Amino acid sequence: MEKELKYIDLVEQPISMHPKKFALWLFMVTVVMIFAALTSAYIVRQAEGNWLEYDLPQVFWFTSGVVVLSSLFLHWAYISAKKDNLSQLRIGMSMAVLLGIVFLVGQWYSWVALVDRQVFFVGNPSGSFLYVFTGLHAVHLISGVIFLIIVLISSFRYKVHSQAMNTMEMATSYWHFLGGLWIYLFMFLLLNH
């Protein structure tokens, strides 16, 4: 009997994670794999030649700053939720949503700038890759903005606070991930363009 009790004491408790958080992390790993494959394909295809050279749109610098600023506001909202400061939570969430929309509008203007430079989706693969990178990122960012709007609405319904942080934590993780992904893509394009 004593040996059984000792054995039970030695059994480690499994690490637990909310199933929705686990699913989100699996999704983010999948997105990383997709973009890693695309950036690898970019490098391989660029080495084959027949590569159109053009300047990246200047608006990419602006949108990069916007996405970093939106992450800062979201982090402020996250800290405010942990402290039950609901007014700051709502301001931070509102600013993150607004800046996310500004980022998407900026990405649209980057496509306009590309068309003005005669860089199209169809034609040279260098343009095609750029449209795929920015378009695929924009699709994920739209889902992120929708997620932030859901959390913002929940904050007005008093469903986000220090005792109910799961959705807020997931939204923050996903948004920071998307911001980091954009910075990676932008740096990759600057260095390999």
Tell me the per-residue pLDDT of 165-180, one tens digit each, with 9 for 90 and over.
999 999 999 999 999 9
Q: Do 145 and 158 meet the contact criterion of CB atoms below 8 Å apart?
A: no
pLDDT above 90 covers a percentage of the chain that reads: 80
Least confident window among 2-16, 79-93, 96-110, 115-129: 2-16
Q: Does residue 67 lie in a domain region?
A: yes
User: At residue 182, does pLDDT exceed 70?
Assistant: yes
Q: Do 90 and 148 meet the contact criterion of CB atoms below 8 Å apart?
A: no
Mean pLDDT of the chain: 91
Q: Does residue 19 lie in a domain region?
A: no
Q: How confident is the model at residue 123 (pLDDT cuts 50, 70, 90)?
A: confident
CATH number at 100 reads 1.20.120.80
Distance CA 192, CA 140 (A): 23
pLDDT of residue 15: 66
Q: Does residue 54 lie in a domain region?
A: no
Rg of the chain over Cα atoms, rounded to whole angstroms, equals 21
Per-residue pLDDT, averaged over 34-51, amounts to 93
Domain of 184 in residue numbering reads as 59-193
Q: Does residue 181 lie in a domain region?
A: yes
Q: Do 175 and 70 meet the contact criterion of CB atoms below 8 Å apart?
A: yes
Distance CA 28, CA 182 (A): 13
Q: Does residue 133 lie in a domain region?
A: yes
Per-residue pLDDT, averaged over 142-152, amounts to 97
Q: Does residue 140 lie in a domain region?
A: yes
Q: Does residue 16 lie in a domain region?
A: no
What are the backbone dihedrals phi and psi of residue 161, each rounded to the nearest 5 degrees, phi first? -165, -175
pLDDT of residue 191: 93
Total domains in the fold of the chain? 1
User: At residue 1, does pLDDT exceed 80?
Assistant: no
Global pTM value: 0.88
pLDDT of residue 52: 87
Q: Does residue 32 lie in a domain region?
A: no
User: At residue 62, does pLDDT exceed 60?
Assistant: yes
pLDDT above 70 covers a percentage of the chain that reads: 92
